[in-house]
Amino acid sequence: MTIDTFFLWRREVHKTFHEITASADLEAALQQQTEALGFENYAFLIQHPVPFTRQRLFLFSTYPQAWIKRYEEENYFQSDPVLQVCQRTGIGVAWSAELFRESGNLWQEANQFGLQSGFSCSAMAANRALGILSMSSAQLIKTSELQHELEAQLHYLADLSLSVLERFSDSAMLVLDNDFSQRELEVLKWTAEGKTAVEISLILAISEHTVNFHQKNMQKRFNVSNKTQIACYAAATGLI
């Protein structure tokens, strides 16, 4: 693929995704692109940045249902090297036996369910939701030889997919209720700086009671138990 053909492809794909009128139509668009790139199935996994120890996951996929069930039963989310590599956005990874060498039976079982080769890459939304797009085939495709092309294409498709879901306020993209007032954001920023309620009240020229009110309100909206968590969640989701 030349630079010219890449940008031509990019324009056509952007038009296709921009014309999507409902988040449910995204799956058909991704399947179409998957086949156009020479693969058969895709999986688009969305990972929320918080809570830190029990991150919420959303999966859009045309993988065999039996494989998805097996993957979940074995909790391969914890050992899948593809998910680990794709925590860094824009870094494409070609699947290989070597990549899965320390992942137990994951690679062998994937092969048995028809995933003989594949490629993955990720993108990140403004709210820090991570979208990992993977494409697979039952055929042996030398994806490592197409590293740069596939990396650019899957990264762009993942980015467009996140944008589509965000545009329609799909539940997969609702990390936190972030409809904060300007005053709440100011209190949030100073809380993250480690300022006490008294100090924030002096800085913003409001009462200590008002500061405490805003902080308690944000704790409820973030579903957290203290001010430290408020600051951590706000930073993790790009609010501050």
Estimate to the nearest angstrom the gap between the alpha carbon of 159 and the chain centroid.
9
**Contact assessment for residue 12 and residue 5, using Cβ atoms and an 8 Å cutoff:** no
Distance CA 91, CA 112 (A): 27
Q: What confidence score (pLDDT) does residue 178 get?
A: 66
For 73, half-sphere exposure in the C-beta direction (CA atoms, 13 angstrom radius) is 7
The pTM score is 0.86
Question: In sequence order, which residues have a C-beta less than 8 Å from that of residue 186 and are 6 or more positions away?
Answer: 204
**Contact assessment for residue 32 and residue 13, using Cβ atoms and an 8 Å cutoff:** no
Give me the domains of the chain, ranges plus CATH numbers.
3-173 (3.30.450.80), 182-236 (1.10.10.10)
The DSSP bridge partners found for residue 122 are 132
Strand-by-strand arrangement of the 130-137 sheet: 57-61, 41-47, 130-137, 117-124, 93-94
Q: What confidence score (pLDDT) does residue 50 get?
A: 87
Distance CA 130, CA 80 (A): 16
Q: Enter the tokens of residue 152.
A: 């650019």
Q: What is the pLDDT along the chain (240 residues), one digit of tens a residue?
A: 778 899 999 999 999 999 999 988 999 999 999 999 999 999 999 999 988 878 889 999 999 999 999 999 999 999 999 999 999 999 999 999 999 999 999 999 999 999 999 999 999 999 999 999 999 999 988 888 889 999 999 999 999 999 999 999 999 998 876 678 889 889 988 988 889 999 999 999 999 999 999 988 888 888 888 888 888 888 888 888
Of 164, 139, 195, the C-alpha closest to 28 is: 164
